Amino acid sequence: MTEIAKIPIIDISGDGDETQVAKDLVEAAIEHGFVYIKNPGKDIPVEAIDEAFEMSKRLFDAPLDEKEACRIQHNNRGWSAMNYETLDPANQRVGDFKEAFNFGDFVDGKAQQPIPPTIAADEPQISAFRDLCYNLSLKLNTLLGIGLEVTPPTFFTTAHLRSRGPSGTILRFLRYPPRSALAAQQQQQPTTTTVSSADDDVRAGAHSDYGSLTLLFRLRGQPGLEILLRDGQTWSPVPVVPPGTEHDPAPPVLVNIGDLLSYWTNGLLRSTVHRVVFPSSVAAGGNGVVVDGETDVDGMRYSIAYFCHPFGGTELGPVPSERVEGYQGGLAEGNPYAERKMLTADEHLMMRLKASYAQLYKEK
């Protein structure tokens, strides 16, 4: 039976030994590419997370024409309809069984992109939540710089400052309908080419993230995320509430290393491949393992991701750090998606977007 991933839980909220916390964070980023950040509600208040999920529900429940008017553009902002994005185009026959809405930069609390009228009143709160995520991402970047002894340790943080210029940073609301909705969709379109057996479908195909790091917020009782272990074959579920955090005010924030921090460190920090499956999907690798004390939950699943990117012109050569310079592993190890072809953060982002939104980039 598949075991749940043994991802370390780190507390960065205290006044403890910053150097030790930074080292722990770096070791987790090297070994797993994923780390839980304990959430006592200091960096990101629990109410702010609850409110963000409520806004997400309102947004996805908005009338279809409101969402259609905000369709995702080449700037990666806006609404991505069901099955529109395909995170693993080499292996998926059907697009991801999910809907998403991407928010780019806000200026003075105002989105710089069309927003469904249904959530217009929420704009300042969405902007505020994005700011909380930005601040946490800077803190994590600083800790990674300290832990890797980069010269200077603020190297990553500086590259992420908004004052440096535009970046690909995105706050993304995600909604994954239940498996029963998939069955209904298939009955409605039994003869189309998109038909597949339910076992082939995933909520989000296997991928690594395109940015430097990702913050992920999930809800209790809504599992489904899995990571690919180092053997390159075993999928391991990532619980929302790992052991020891059951009594925390909110589930920990899950942080993962994306391609850019991996490139920046010659592959020392691991941009781990992951996916989202339906609960207990045996064919998809769930194997009936009990995650978060629940199996066979066929409900709607929501998550919120903050994809942190440095300013677009950032060059992704190895950073000045003895640890990075002394690392011989290389990028290809364990991540077939991390093919190094790019020079800057923006060029890398464009390459990945073109692969996962075939239709969007063909249309033009």
Report the interface residues with ligand AKG, using CB under 6 A.
174, 204, 209, 216, 218, 225, 274, 276, 303, 305
Min separation Cβ 30 and ligand AKG, Å: 20
CB 276 within 8 A of CB 226: yes
Q: Which residue is nearest to Fe ion (CB)?
A: 209
Which of ligand AKG, Fe ion, none is residue 219 near (CB under 5 to 8 Å by kind)?
none
Which of ligand AKG, Fe ion, none is residue 276 near (CB under 5 to 8 Å by kind)?
ligand AKG
Dist. CA 237–CA 292, nearest whole Å: 10
Q: Which is nearer to Fe ion, 85 or 209 (CB)?
A: 209
Q: Which residue is nearest to ligand AKG (CB)?
A: 303
Min separation Cβ 316 and ligand AKG, Å: 19
Q: Which is nearer to ligand AKG, 101 or 106 (CB)?
A: 101
Q: Which is nearer to ligand AKG, 204 or 353 (CB)?
A: 204
CB 53 within 8 A of CB 219: yes
Q: Which is nearer to Fe ion, 209 or 259 (CB)?
A: 209
A 10 A CB-CB count for 330 gives 11
Q: Which residues of 27-52 are buried (b: 16+ CB within 10 A; e: fewer)?
A: ebbbebbbbbbbbeeebbbeebbebb
Which of ligand AKG, Fe ion, none is residue 141 near (CB under 5 to 8 Å by kind)?
none
CB 162 within 8 A of CB 112: no
Dist. CA 154–CA 191, nearest whole Å: 56
As a whole number of Å, the end-to-end CA separation of the chain is: 46
Which of Fe ion, ligand AKG, none is residue 67 near (CB under 5 to 8 Å by kind)?
none
Which of ligand AKG, Fe ion, none is residue 342 near (CB under 5 to 8 Å by kind)?
none
Which of ligand AKG, Fe ion, none is residue 216 near (CB under 5 to 8 Å by kind)?
ligand AKG
Greatest alpha-carbon span in the chain: 61
Which of Fe ion, ligand AKG, none is residue 225 near (CB under 5 to 8 Å by kind)?
ligand AKG
A 10 A CB-CB count for 273 gives 22
Dist. CA 142–CA 157, nearest whole Å: 6
Determine the residue type at 29. Answer: A
Q: Which is nearer to Fe ion, 119 or 225 (CB)?
A: 225
Q: Which is nearer to ligand AKG, 216 or 291 (CB)?
A: 216
Task: Tell me the residue ranges of DSSP E strands in 198-346.
Answer: 204-207, 213-218, 225-228, 235-237, 253-257, 274-276, 301-308
Q: Which is nearer to ligand AKG, 14 or 293 (CB)?
A: 293
Q: How big, in percent rounded to 5, are the helix, strand and coil portions of the chain?
A: 30, 20, 50
Which parts of this chain interact with Fe ion (CB under 5 A)? 209
Min separation Cβ 322 and ligand AKG, Å: 32
Q: Which is nearer to ligand AKG, 140 or 276 (CB)?
A: 276
Distances (CA, A) of 13 to 9, 51, 143: 12, 21, 12
Which of Fe ion, ligand AKG, none is residue 174 near (CB under 5 to 8 Å by kind)?
ligand AKG
